[in-house]
Amino acid sequence: MNVKIVKNLNDNGNILALTFFEDEKVLKSSSRDLDNKLKGFVKDKIFLAKFGKLYSACVSDMKCSKVLLVGLGKKKDLTLEKVRKIIGKIVGFTRSEKRNNFSTDLSEKVAGLFDAEDLGRAFGETLELSNYGFDKYLNKERHKKKVEDVGLIFSKVGPKFLEGVRVGKIIGESSNFTKDLVNDHPGVVTPTFLEKTARAMEKKHTKIKVKVLNKNEMEKLGMNAILGVARGSVEAPKLIIIEYRGGAKSEKFKAFVGKGITFDSGGYNLKPTGYMEDMKCDMGGAGAVLGTMRSIAHLGLKQNILGVIPTCENMIGANAQRPGDIVKAYNGKTIEILNTDAEGRLILADALAYTDDKYKPEIMVDLATLTGACVVALGYFATAVMGKDNDLCQELVVAGEKSGDRVWQLPFYEDFHDHMNGSISDLQNISKEGRGAGSITAGVFLSKFVDKARWAHLDIAGSAFFAKAHGYNQKGATGAGVRVLSYWLLNR
């Protein structure tokens, strides 16, 4: 998508989207002629500028095909997230009209209310996010037209806003990159496909180096937790390691570890109909790591970042892992498998322990579509964060609020910390206390595999995949994790 700054209403596109606050007594644009034509809308109370309300009309003697009036609500109530939602509505309207460009005065109207760079980022990322569509398997006649050109009416644009737009577009494009991975079907997106995706990134960016541990190497290293999950599948497991070196050689890595179950049948604890169909999304954490690494590389961040992806399928077969089996993880801890559908924590266990031991990162954050309990607790519009490092958790909460990729901290009381202890093994993979606090006890399990790094766990089970469109996100993958991690790194 091309974004340009235009100075006045004459430089408009197919759609001219004009924005108005509810508390404006008279709708005023920067064109007197247009103001006269808009008066009737106000007089007849057709358009009252309530937040998110749209009214479109064909106006004579205008270059545009339609004028779209957009309500911003009350000025005191406007937030950056509401700005994102307005951008999404304008893009959505333009696409519904089968037009490929629009101009809007939204940038000028709200410029004084927010930091210029933050506002630019919100514009850049949301223009990309709301323009997304996964049409790879649709006939061409079913492809929805996308917006190609956007004119932002801004008489006094500054460099900070423009830089924000540049950064925001990269983050939005990287989130869409993740959406493509999560939306595609599991016959395509296999562990081998994820490896090829990482290798392609390595070829494109000189600061990225990729290393992949195969099944034989994992057997030698004692990664029996991930190997156990993979036993029922013909797809070989992999541990994909992506190194990005943008900082000094002496600088420690910040590591992102993403769960990469490319299809989750539940194993012998088989998922029922209605829950299995979307389990292509169980590699949402891996997708978020790949999208974040893309964002980092395109932004050229001067930090050392490590992306780690344990990936396999969780299937049923003659050799599949059974409830009651006991495996020994990379760090020597034994785990009794009481539920084969609690598999994500198993593959993360080996990945976290290996990364902590071999790379000794300063900070480690894992992302996983880990628990249905997280959806029960928070629904679909926030990611859960937890861990012993409260400062790190709060940094991610702040980055989530700023980016719109929202994060909510769950308690990690010591009272929970023995709930995953086993009776005939060091640990068991589901809580001995039952289903209560399921997201937290899953996080407790993961904490047993991190000794040195500052660590936080992001459960994106609800936020990674929407059953229906909401705001500027379409049905399906949302790219959850990419924005919050990108903002967190930029804040640092």
pLDDT of residue 31: 52
Dihedral sign computed on CA atoms, order 113, 18, 43, 50: negative
pLDDT of residue 57: 79
Copy the structure tokens of residue 379: 């629904």
- CA–CA gap between residue 428 and residue 224 (Å, rounded): 14
pLDDT of residue 427: 98
Compute the chain's Rg from CA coordinates. Answer: 24
Copy the structure tokens of residue 313: 């399928």
pLDDT of residue 161: 96
CATH architecture of the domain 173-491 equals 3-Layer(aba) Sandwich (3.40)
- Locate tokens 């407790």: which residue? 444
Q: Are strands 208-213 and 66-71 parallel, antiparallel or unpaired?
A: unpaired
Q: What share of the chain is helix, strand, coil (3-state, %, to 5)?
A: 40, 20, 40
Tell me: domain 2-131, CATH 2.60.40.1930, correct?
A: no
CA distances from 424 to 217, 368, 419 (A): 28, 28, 14
Bridge partners for 54 per DSSP: 70
pLDDT of residue 42: 53
| Active site positions, annotated | 271, 345
Domain boundaries, the chain: 2-131, 173-491
Which of these, 439, 448, 440, lies nearest to 421 by C-alpha position? 448
Find the angle CA(354)-CA(211)-CA(463) to the nearest 5 degrees.
70
pLDDT of residue 437: 96
Give kind and range of the element (H or E) at residue 148.
none
pLDDT of residue 274: 86
pLDDT of residue 7: 80
- CA–CA gap between residue 257 and residue 384 (Å, rounded): 16
Neighbours of 417 (CB within 10 A): 15
pTM of the model: 0.95
pLDDT of residue 26: 57
Q: What is the mean pLDDT of each run of 10 residues along the chain (492 residues)?
A: 83 80 66 58 65 84 79 95 98 94 94 96 98 94 91 90 97 98 98 98 98 98 98 98 97 98 97 92 98 98 98 97 98 98 98 98 98 96 97 98 98 96 97 94 98 98 96 96 98 88
